[in-house]
């Protein structure tokens, strides 16, 4: 059930049965020569909506504007400062708390959103917050390894491109060479989108891909990723609602 497609009476009635809500988190940023600017938001929102269909959970509109500073040297990227993003997130949570929501499940599609949400988990001791990036689910991660081995990389990944190809659009008129292959140490050091300043980042990764061979991600793969992410997300959301332990223990990022 989508919040934006619901009436207030329907939301009031929902709150009589559940205090949980799913909020998709994405970005508006370049995703390489064949990846869509909205990739992170499109993936997160599609998966969240389907988890909502399968669980009966209410799904809020995606939060697509987020920190993406490292991509600002590529046209089309829109970036919020961390503090702005945190303020927006807090005011969204506060509004929903005011109506009685207590379980906030952030279905994430963008690495740089993880750290700010961890801060929110520390701040809001009285409610339950979990953030899950769709690629973190074990079954999804296995599929990424199986299909792409060392070419998943960090940005404009074949798995996210596969999902947008399956559900939205395939850009196929641009022939891509292999991206620079990153070693494990690099990936670890830059996890959560801890990349360099915009001009340096573009100089280092001129076509916008960061170690990711985007073109490996076929529409067929995308359907498989979508299904596995939705089925893992369904179980994870239901488990989250049942878990009555403190907020801090939900920081399963």
Q: Which stretch binds Ni ion (CB under 5 A): 7-15, 78-86, 116-124, 152-160?
A: 152-160
* Bridge partner list, 105: 22, 130
CB of 152 or CB of 160, closer to Ni ion: 160
Q: How far is the CB of 36 from Ni ion (least distance, A)?
A: 10
Does position 152 interact with Ni ion (CB under 5 A)? The reply is no
Q: How far is the CB of 53 from Ni ion (least distance, A)?
A: 23
Nearest of 165, 163, 85, 164 to residue 119 by alpha carbon: 85
Instruction: State the Cα–Cα distance between residues 79 and 69, nearest whole angstrom.
Output: 6
Q: Which stretch binds Ni ion (CB under 5 A): 40-48, 210-218, 221-229, 239-247?
A: 40-48
Nearest of 101, 129, 109, 133 to residue 3 by alpha carbon: 101
Q: How far is the CB of 43 from Ni ion (least distance, A)?
A: 7
For 18-34, give one letter per residue: b (16+ CB within 10 A) or e. bbbbbbbbbbbbbbbbb
- Which helix (H) or strand (E) segment holds residue 116: the answer is helix 114-123
Contacting Ni ion within 154-173 (CB under 5 A): 160
Does position 40 interact with Ni ion (CB under 5 A)? The reply is yes
Q: How far is the CB of 155 from Ni ion (least distance, A)?
A: 6
* Site residues for Ni ion per CB under 5 A: 39-40, 160
């Amino acid at each position: 059930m989508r919040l934006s497609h619901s009436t207030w009476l329907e939301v009031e009635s929902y709150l009589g049965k559940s205090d949980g809500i799913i909020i998709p988190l994405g970005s508006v940023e370049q995703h390489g020569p064949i990846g869509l600017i909205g990739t992170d938001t499109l993936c997160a929102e599609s998966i969240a909506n389907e988890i909502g269909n399968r669980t009966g959970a209410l799904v809020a509109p995606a939060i697509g504007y987020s920190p993406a500073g490292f991509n600002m040297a590529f046209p089309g990227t829109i970036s919020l400062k961390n503090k702005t993003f945190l303020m927006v997130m807090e005011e969204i949570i506060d509004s929903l708390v005011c109506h009685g929501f207590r379980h906030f499940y952030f279905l994430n599609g963008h690495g740089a959103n993880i750290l700010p949400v961890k801060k929110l988990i520390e701040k809001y001791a009285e409610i339950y917050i979990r953030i899950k990036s769709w690629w973190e689910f074990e079954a999804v991660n296995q599929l990424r390894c199986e299909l792409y081995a060392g070419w998943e990389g960090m940005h404009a990944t074949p798995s996210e491109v596969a999902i947008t190809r399956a559900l939205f659009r395939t850009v196929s008129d641009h022939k891509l060479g292999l991206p620079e292959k990153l070693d494990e140490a690099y990936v670890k050091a830059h996890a959560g989108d801890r990349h360099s300043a915009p001009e340096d980042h573009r100089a280092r990764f001129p076509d916008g891909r960061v170690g990711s061979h985007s073109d490996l991600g076929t529409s067929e793969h995308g359907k498989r990723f979508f299904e596995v992410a939705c089925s893992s997300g369904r179980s994870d959301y239901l488990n989250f609602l049942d878990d009555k332990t403190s907020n801090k223990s939900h920081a399963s990022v």
